[in-house]
Structure 1
């Protein structure tokens, strides 16, 4: 859960790791490309549309120009639909190094259009966060609970004491499977059922003819 690429390893090939590891982590944190961003919702955002801006490429995780800030109180609720099925393995959430940084998040699976009224239910997993202004800390999920995720909700339930919460980056690490594979399977079942139907039809006239 420590940071990467800061040159704090011992000598003897550490330069190679410094160049290689961030690229690998960039690929691992590529689930932002699998979000159906047109349907992404952020409830209690102070400015409409800002919530989707914090899902950025790995190399933009330190960007401070795009962020979301809460409105009426410190809570935020992200409803994140994916374009396929996701196995979520880890999450990074970054804010300012002050009291506006999220202090606790709760993750929910496959509850489309979730509202604050739904946040009383038991989450799949909850995390108490440390302040992380450089997007260095990863919180690993219990993977068995986060397989076959078509929709992820992230509830920022509290911060470190500020009236509002500010988030600059949310990174999601995991694996992705295309949704269309399920449609192909259904088509195959339908195609294989048709010949059987025809065989039944061809047998019935013969039976009638013999009798």
Structure 2
């Protein structure tokens, strides 16, 4: 597991967050393959994937995930095709359970906490944000073409457990997986050679 729990957050809970206009769209949840999403160290099984809501539901506090034995959470997020992720937003409680630091990994499928010792593609120190007003841009050179994203919550603001209400991802869908495209193309074509041994229903029948 990550050992990034010791850094100080003095005064963070009182840091002012400007009430900025809603200029970003966090709508990549529509491209997440929810059947394959896994969240490690969630206190309630299946609760972690519920934080990937539509942007219009980000203020819904009835759906959230709590960490279990410590402050860490690991989200493994597969997409339905290749995507470009340009930024994210994280909503938590306005207290010490809010995530304070995350590490983000590209295309590392089925990550476990034992895998978190590798160098992350990006690390972000978070502000305490209970309204989803802070946008965190991602490095364009790192997240321009991916099919899987892992987000590790390394630490919170001092509580024993972490609570997350919402994770919004912004970006764009690029293209389907090539294997799916190939299968769809094959099935859409009427290949006569595939039926050369078939006898049409109207041929060879004896009429009485």
Matches within 5 A, 1:1-12: 2-5=18-21
Deviations 1:58-79, CA, capped at 9 Å, x for gaps = 1111110000000010000000
Aligned residue runs from structure 1 range 10-29, under 5 A: 22=22, 25=24, 28-29=25-26
Partners of 1:83 and 1:178 within 8 A in 2: no
The CA deviation at 1:183 is: 5.0
Match of 2:142 in 1: 145
- Give, in angstroms, the shift of residue 178 of structure 1: 2.7
Distance 1:178 1:161, change over 3 A: same
Q: What residue in structure 2 maps to residue 58 of structure 1?
A: 55
Q: Which of 29, 36, 41 is the equivalent residue of 2:38?
A: 41
Distance in structure 1 (CA, Å) of the matches to 2:160 and 2:149: 26
In the alignment, the residues of structure 1 paired with residue 55 and residue 86 of structure 2 have an alpha-carbon distance, to the nearest angstrom, of 16
State TM-score, norm by structure 2: 0.76
**CA–CA distance in structure 2, aligned partners of residues 187 and 97 of structure 1:** 48
1:30-52: per-residue Cα shift (whole Å, max 9, x none)?
10010000100000000000011
Task: Describe the SS at the equivalent of 2:39.
Answer: strand
- SS at structure 2 position matched to 1:4: coil
Taking the aligned partners of 2:47 and 2:173, their CA distance within structure 1 comes to: 25
How large is the Cα RMSD of the aligned pairs?
1.9
Answer 1 or 2: which has greater helix percent. 1
Q: Is the 8 A contact 2:59 2:131 kept in 1?
A: yes
2:78 corresponds to 1:81: yes
State the Cα distance separating 1:4 from its structure 2 match.
3.5
Matched residue SS, 1:156? strand
Distance of 1:184 and 1:37 partners within structure 2: 21
Seen in structure 2, the aligned counterparts of structure 1 residues 2 and 35 have a Cα distance that, compared at 3 Å, is farther
**Alignment check: 8 A CA contact 1:2 1:138 kept:** no
Look up the SS of the partner of 2:141 in the other structure.
Answer: helix
The alpha carbon displacement at 1:177 in A equals 1.8
**Structure 1 residues 120 and 180: alpha-carbon distance in aligned structure 2, compared to 1, 3 A threshold:** closer
The runs of 5 or more residues in structure 2 that have no matched partner are 1-16, 186-208
- 2:195 corresponds in structure 1 to none
Is 1:155 the counterpart of 2:160? The answer is no
Runs (5+) with no aligned partner, structure 1? 6-21, 189-211
Q: Contact conserved, 1:68 with 1:168, CA < 8 A, in 2? A: yes
